[in-house]
């Protein structure tokens, strides 16, 4: 037992001084937890069960302890990590002014926004096949919903130019071909382009609203 404790403390000391390893472990923990949530969601047939994300965490700790201690949320020894600012990952909630504008009906929430967020979420959770398959539909719906206006013409053109490559990538993933690093980065950039067009489209409905806080969705950054 003492040997196990010493090994655990030694491992924790290694983690304590390695920021990259800390981020690796946290990312892995989130992926494992979300896999369990997805399994439960499928098992009970409830699509409303939400997954977790680092940005919403109140506390992040990496620790070691006995099975009984960990089951009770306690550790023999642990390190507390700084939770990331929402802006470093995504804005989990816009400011009151932007939220009020949405609730008052002055600006719309596009149906395509939900699809973009799903693609971003799948990409962030490393479900790259789902991300690749969802992107073509998100592009098609967004182009259908966004008005043809000069103010969004450039962004609309950029998104429309993604359609062919998005369709090709989706078909390749269906054939079982894994996404390469360059393709993952392309997917992330595509999500940003879609979100940029969606954000600009909102301003068409109420140009006086400050919607800058409706920023990039979860999963879009791959840094």
- pLDDT tens by residue, 106-159: 777 889 999 998 999 888 888 899 999 999 999 999 999 998 889 899 999 999
* Core vs surface per residue 27-66: b (16+ CB within 10 A) or e: eeebeeebeeeeeebeeeeeeeeebebbbeeeebebbbbe
Please give the residue that has the higher pLDDT: either 106 or 176: 176
**Mean pLDDT value of segment 3-31:** 85
* Two structure tokens written together for 221: 């950054």
Averaged pLDDT, 10-27: 87
- Record the tokens describing residue 141, joined without a space: 């719906």
Helix H or strand E encompassing 34? helix 19-44
pLDDT value for 2: 62
CB of 88 closer than 8 Å to CB of 212: no
What is the distance between the alpha carbons of residues 218 and 221, in angstroms, rounded to a whole number? 7
CA distance 91 to 95: 9
C-alpha distances (whole Å) from 139 to each of 6, 36, 134, 190 are 53, 30, 9, 9
pLDDT at res. 220: 44
Question: What's the rounded mean pLDDT across residues 178-185?
Answer: 92
Three-state SS across 51-111?
Answer: CCCHHHCCCEEEEECCHHHHHCCCCCEEEEECCCCHHHHCCCCCCHHHHHHHHCCCCCCCH
Residue 26 CB neighbour total at 10 angstroms: 17
Distance (Å, rounded) from C-alpha 103 to C-alpha 208?
Answer: 16
d(CA 89, CA 105) in angstroms, rounded, equals 27
* φ, ψ at 44 (rounded to 5°): -95, -5
pTM strictly above 0.75: no
Beta bridge partners of 60: 81
pLDDT tens sequence across 55-94: 777 788 888 888 888 778 788 888 888 765 544 334 444 5
- Plot region of 74 (φ>0 → left; ψ -120 to 50 → alpha; else → beta): beta
Please name every residue paired with 61 in a beta bridge, in sequence order, or none if there are none.
80
Q: List pLDDT tens digits, range 31-55.
A: 898 889 989 988 898 888 888 887 7
């Amino acid at each position: 037992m003492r040997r196990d404790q010493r090994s655990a403390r030694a491992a924790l000391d290694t983690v304590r001084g390695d920021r990259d390893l800390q981020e690796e472990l946290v990312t892995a923990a989130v992926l494992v937890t979300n896999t369990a949530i997805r399994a439960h969601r499928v098992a009970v047939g409830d699509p409303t069960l939400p997954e977790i994300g680092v940005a919403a965490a109140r506390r992040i700790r990496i620790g070691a302890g006995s099975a009984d201690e960990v089951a009770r949320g306690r550790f023999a020894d642990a390190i507390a990590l700084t939770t990331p600012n929402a802006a470093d990952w995504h804005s989990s909630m816009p400011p009151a002014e932007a939220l009020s504008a949405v609730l008052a009906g002055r600006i719309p929430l596009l149906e395509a926004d939900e699809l973009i967020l799903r693609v971003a979420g799948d990409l962030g959770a490393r479900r790259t096949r789902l991300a690749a398959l969802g992107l073509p539909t998100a592009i098609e719906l967004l182009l259908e919903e966004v008005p043809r206006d000069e103010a969004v013409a450039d962004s609309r053109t950029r998104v429309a130019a993604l359609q062919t490559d998005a369709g090709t990538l989706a078909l390749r993933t269906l054939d079982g071909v894994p996404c390469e690093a360059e393709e993952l980065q392309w997917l992330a950039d595509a999500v940003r382009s879609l979100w940029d067009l969606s954000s600009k489209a909102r301003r068409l409905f109420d140009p006086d609203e400050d919607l800058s806080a409706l920023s990039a969705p979860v999963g879009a950054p791959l840094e």
